[in-house]
Amino acid sequence: MEISMQNMNTDKIAIQELTKDEIIAIYSTHSVRHFPADERKPVSSIDRMASEGIYIGYGLYSSRQPDTENSEEQPPSPLHRRQLLGYAFFTALPERQICLLDYFAVMEDFRSHGIGSIFLQHMKASPSPYKGFLIESEDPDYAKGEAELSVRRKRLAFYERNGAVATGIKASVFGVPYCLLFFPLQDGGCPDTEMLCSHFSNIYQRMVSPYHYETNVHIFPPSR
């Protein structure tokens, strides 16, 4: 069912931090549609990191369900007073100043309406203990065909349009090639390449086993 944003009051949109159970429920239900198989972690990994306190999630919700023709006949129940518009999951080490955006998606019915931008700007306007977060965006240089190339370029342009900074760092994670961007949450600009690589490396060392880190996580700073 496609829902028109014209019937939704954007003033009623707000970010809410998710509980561990909510993170797992959203991930289990929606990630299979939103991300390719080679980018999805086992649910057990999400569970472990959330239990360790290094995995946090945010949901972007509308506090009211859009109006329908039958709204007068069937008043919305309490279960329908908020609706998930999008979600973002982060790996965030308490001792680190920079976290990693692990998954970010807008629900299908709300795409192409600026919801992704609203989400990122809400994140930027909200108080945060982190200076910013790293973003992995699929590398256009490895696109298979024009359609995939277009999608990857649009995704990079979307992040940069909303304030992310291209770092020049590239990475290969379990065979998936990425460009890394930095999204600032506080004033101070983009940290230097060495610091960003250090944060990225430390985060992944907590996310995966030493064996998988050594064999499947490769970081490529920009050539000087």
Q: What is the DSSP string of 126-183?
A: S--SSSEEEEEEE-GGG-SSHHHHHHHHHHHHHHHHTT-EEEEEEEEETTEEEEEEEE
**Measured CA distances, 37 to 70, 109, 150, 176, 214 (Å):** 39, 22, 20, 11, 21
Is residue 168 within 8 Å of residue 193, measured between CB atoms? Answer: yes
Rounded Cα distance, 130 and 98, in Å:
6
What is the C-alpha to C-alpha distance for residues 213 and 183, in angstroms, rounded to an integer?
24
Output phi, psi for 64, to 5 deg: -130, 140
Whole-number pLDDT of residue 10: 56
Looking at residue 36, its pLDDT comes to: 87
pLDDT at 124: 87
Say what the pLDDT of residue 223 is.
82
Q: What are phi and psi of 215, to 5 degrees?
A: -95, -20
DSSP bridge pairs for 106: 86
Report d(CA 122, CA 60) in Å as an integer.
9
Do residues 102 and 45 lie in contact, with contact meaning Cβ atoms separated by under 8 Å?
no
Residue 122, pLDDT score:
87
Angle between helices 43-52 and 20-34 (to 10 degrees): 150
Quick one: pLDDT at residue 78? 41
At position 82, the amino acid (one-letter code) is R
CATH of domain 5-220: 3.40.630.30
**Which residues in the chain come in under a pLDDT of 50?**
1-8, 66, 68-71, 73, 75-80
